[in-house]
Each structure stands twice: as structure tokens, then as C-alpha cells.
Amino acid sequence: MARTVTTPRKLINTAFAWAVGLLIFFPILWTILTSFKTEAQAIASPPIFLNFDWTLENYAVVQERSNYTRFLWNSIIIAGGSTLLGVIVAVPAAWAMAFVPSARTKDILLWMLSTKMLPAVGVLYPIYLLFIQLGLLDSRAGLVVVLMLINLPIIVWMLYTYFREIPGDILEAARMDGATLKEEILYILTPMAVPGIASTVLLNFILAWNEAFWTLNLTAVDAAPLTAFIASYSSPEGLFFAKLSAASTMAIAPILILGWFSQKQLVRGLTFGAVK
């Protein structure tokens, strides 16, 4: 028998879900609200929630003080480039692991994932030195490579899981129908894996966009993305909450909008392998 849920029970569940959702969203909402306040209102005690004088002044100042477009462009190149490069490396890797697994495939996958457990700061020093040696410090190319490597285990895992869901019979049918390996990949596998590849790309673009540790440590001016743009407002003249909030809002807006429009793909990406 299906579990029956009474109406009051449903109401409580709904209210609870909304409460959790609001709790998670509150810091973002507060940041956005603060960005429209004056500096004095921003630090007012007790805090003002909605009845303040809405102003766009902070955005004007931020825009005047720093070149938002340049940071945005860097973010797009670094997140997009690392995702693209990651997919190009990961597709053949995941393909091989899903369809011609060896006795060690599971170990390799777990080992790749285990690198994600390593604290990033543990390898900061060697990578920093490498970057100096190779002249990659504060370059977009360097960040593209580092972020690709950071996210590669996740990309490989996700693609591997998606490929595994494609029934082997269908690939064998294609083989029987006269398809070469190339045709099998081009006409059968790729079209069938497109939803999986799309959610992988999306999720990794967002991860790369939000990545702050490496982008802050390995950039200064030329390659600095939006994370550095936000950070630049927390120093050195002291904290200007309203302006910092305006900068933050500008930095997260593109990715929030992207995420909003691609919710379905994202949910599929985040629950990958859980449901078929």
C-alpha cells in the first residue's frame, strides 16, 4: 500500500522545505539587498531588512573602480576552457573504462576520486613553483590547466556513470549492423550520451566558475577572474559592505542565471547514477 500523507502533514512538510530553502538562500538574498543600501545602512544595528533607501550608487562605484568586464571575460575563459579541455580528455577515458574495463578500472576510478580528498593547499607550494618555472603565473592558460586537473576526476566519474547506463546490446547491434568503431561512437553513443555530457559540462562549468583557492593564489592582475574581483573589495581600505555586496552580486549573477535556466540538467547531474 502506498504511504498516505494527510493534508496537515503535507502542509508541515511544505513549510519545512521552504524554511530550509530560505535558510540556504538567505545569505545570497542578504548580499543582494545590502548591495542596494548605503554603507551606513549596510552596517546599521539592528539590521534593516527592506525599508531602506534603494540606491544603485554601489554598482556605479564598483563599475568605476574596477573593470568588471575584464574579470567576467577571464572567468568565462577559465571556466569554459577548463571544462572543454576536461571533457576532451575525459570522454575517451570514460569510454575506455565503461566499455573495455580491465581488472584495474575500479581501482583507477577510486584513486582518481581520492585525489579530491587531498587538501588543495597541500600541493599549492609545488604547483606555485612549477608555475613560476613555466612562466604560467597570472596566465589564463595556466589556470585552465589547473582547474581542468582539479575537476577531471568528477568529469570522468560522471561520464563513466552515464556511459555505463547505455545498454551494451545497442552498441553490439550497431556493430552487427556494420558500424565501424568511429560510426558507433558518432551515430549511436554520442547522441545517446548527450544529456549526460550536457549536465557534466554544466556542473563543471559552475564548479570552475566558483573555484576560489587556485584562482586567488595563482593570479594577480591579467588572469584574475570574478573570484579575485570579489576578494579585491575586502581590502585594503577596510570593509565596505555595500560595495563588497555589489561586487559579489555582479560576480554571482551570471552563474545564478545560468543555473536557474538549466535546473533540470543540473539536478540530473547532481544525482548522477542514482536513478535511471
Task: Give the binding site for another protein (CB under 8 A).
Answer: 167, 169-170, 172-180, 183, 187-188, 191-192
- The answer to whether the peptide bond before residue 236 is cis (omega within 30 degrees of 0) is yes
Grid cell for residue 233: 573589495
Place of cell 545569505: 27
26 vs 187 by CB, closer to another protein: 187
The C-alpha atoms of residue 206 and residue 191 are separated, in whole angstroms, by: 24
Sequence-separated (6 or more) residues with CB below 8 Å from residue 47: none
Grouping H, G, I as helix, E, B as strand and the rest as coil, residue 2 is: coil
**Distance of closest approach, residue 105 Cβ to another protein, in angstroms:** 16
32 vs 166 by CB, closer to another protein: 166
**Distance of closest approach, residue 172 Cβ to another protein, in angstroms:** 5
98 vs 188 by CB, closer to another protein: 188
**Distance of closest approach, residue 183 Cβ to another protein, in angstroms:** 6
180 vs 271 by CB, closer to another protein: 180
**Distance of closest approach, residue 190 Cβ to another protein, in angstroms:** 10
**Distance of closest approach, residue 91 Cβ to another protein, in angstroms:** 18
70 vs 175 by CB, closer to another protein: 175
134 vs 170 by CB, closer to another protein: 170
**Distance of closest approach, residue 174 Cβ to another protein, in angstroms:** 8
Long-range residue pairs from 115-122, CB within 8 A, at least 24 positions apart, any chain: 115/153, 116/153, 116/154, 120/150, 120/213, 120/214, 121/213
Long-range residue pairs from 150-153, CB within 8 A, at least 24 positions apart, any chain: 150/120, 150/211, 150/214, 151/82, 151/83, 151/86, 151/204, 151/207, 151/208, 152/86, 152/89, 152/90, 152/112, 153/112, 153/113, 153/115, 153/116
